[in-house]
Structures are given as structure tokens and as C-alpha cells.
Amino acid sequence: MRGHGFLTGAYIRGNSPLHKAPVGLKVIALLLISILALSLTSTIVLSALLVVTALLYIVARLPWSRLGRTLQASAPVVVVLGAFQWWLAGPVVAWHVVAIVLCTILASGLLTGTTEHSAVLDALARWISPLRRLGADPERFALTVSVMLRSLPFIVGSFQDVRDAARARGLEHNVRARTLPVLITTVAYARQTGEAMMARGLGDDDELG
């Protein structure tokens, strides 16, 4: 499988202001960009927010190839979603939906590109720790998030690899050829992940309490 790290696990070392910013501040910025994009009704302002979010890649000193890979990887979903909204409600609504999705994806890419994976998980564990008195397990929560974040790029990568392989064999319109290998690969990946966690003593009955 190719390394599809556009969602997570794509940290790029650097000393930009965004790299040096606290994790909590960057998470709040991500939430604010997402909430702002969802609440805006002006097409011009929403478009400006999208441009500003993209330009933050320059502030973060992330390579433009990173931005290109992020857009390329999200293109199939964005195109289908935009086309559906265009057919359903017209071009203006379609652009609003596409811009909202792109703002969120690009902001997420900024977070993962300027923050080490372990730093994000440590921050999550710290934020959840006050709930320990209610029975929450911050470490287990962080581990669950880690597994989820590592799995998503793998599954998306599987879809893209299988799609390319099916196209090379002239089977791009064969639903079975494009889905069955992904299901098999995903199940195998899940089993390997579970076995690795069990080997480290995670997920045992006594561990689960």
C-alpha cells in the first residue's frame, strides 16, 4: 500500500510559527475554522476563508506538494458531493458545501503537518484525564483515537490502490473488483492490529476490567 498520510501521520519537521504553537491552540483554531465555515452565508467571505486556510500552508512552511496531495486525495469525495449538491440545490449551494469541506480538510492537514502524532495523543489524554473520576481511561481513549487515525489513511489508500489496479485491468466499472479486495485487505489489517495490541497486553479481559 502507498503511504496515504494526508489525514494523519504526515508530520513534517519545521520551526514555523505553527510548528511552535501549542497543540491546544491549533486544535481550537481547527474548530474555529470549521465552525466559521459552517456558519458563513456569504459566498465571497467563505471563499476568502478557504484561500486564507490554504495560504496558512505558506506560514507553516509546508511544501505545496503536501497541499496538492491533500486536495488530490479528497477530490473524489468533494467532486461527488459538489455534483450532487449542484443537481439538488444549484451551483451556489454546491460551492458552499465544497468550500466547507475543503476548509475543514485543509485545516486538519495543517494540524497534522505541524504537530507530531504523539503530541496530539498526549494532549487528548490530558484533556480527558479530568473524566477519570467518572471511570474514563484517558490512555485507552488516546490509544483508540490513535488506531482510528492510523486506520483511516490505510483504508482510503486501499480504495485508491484497488481502483488503480482495476483500471489497469480494464475493470474500473466492475463493482466487485473495486470493493472485494478492499474488504479483504481491511479485515486483514484489523486482525493484524488486534493481534499486535493483544501481544502488548492491550485488550485483555483483565485489562478491560
Q: What pLDDT digit, counting tens, does each position of 26-71 carry?
A: 888 888 998 899 888 899 999 999 999 999 989 988 887 777 777 7
Taking 70 as the threshold, does the pLDDT of residue 194 lie above it? no
Let me know whether 20 and 95 are in one domain.
yes
What total number of domains does the chain contain? 2
At 184, the pLDDT band (50, 70, 90 cuts) reads confident
The model's pTM: 0.65
* Whole-number pLDDT of residue 156: 59
At 9, the pLDDT band (50, 70, 90 cuts) reads very low
Average pLDDT over residues 159-185: 69
Let me know whether 31 and 7 are in one domain.
yes
End residue of a domain, out of 115, 132, 165? 115
Tell me the pLDDT tens digit for each residue of 91-140. 998 999 899 988 888 888 888 888 887 787 777 777 777 767 777 666 66
Report the run of H or E that residue 143 belongs to, with start and end. helix 138-168
Let me know whether 17 and 100 are in one domain.
yes
Let me know whether 5 and 27 are in one domain.
yes
End residue of a domain, out of 85, 115, 145? 115
Per-residue CA distances from 147 to 91, 118, 183 (Å): 38, 12, 18
Residue corresponding to grid cell 482510503: 156
* Whole-number pLDDT of residue 134: 73
Let me know whether 65 and 4 are in one domain.
yes
Residue 93 near residue 120, CB atoms below 8 Å: no
Taking 50 as the threshold, does the pLDDT of residue 88 lie above it? yes
Neighbours of 41 (CB within 10 A): 7
Could you list the residue range(s) of the whole structural domain that residue 80 is in?
1-115
How far is Cα 188 from Cα 74, in angstroms, rounded to an integer?
25
End residue of a domain, out of 115, 144, 170? 115
How far is Cα 176 from Cα 209, in angstroms, rounded to an integer?
41
Let me know whether 3 and 69 are in one domain.
yes
Let me know whether 47 and 121 are in one domain.
no
* Whole-number pLDDT of residue 209: 44
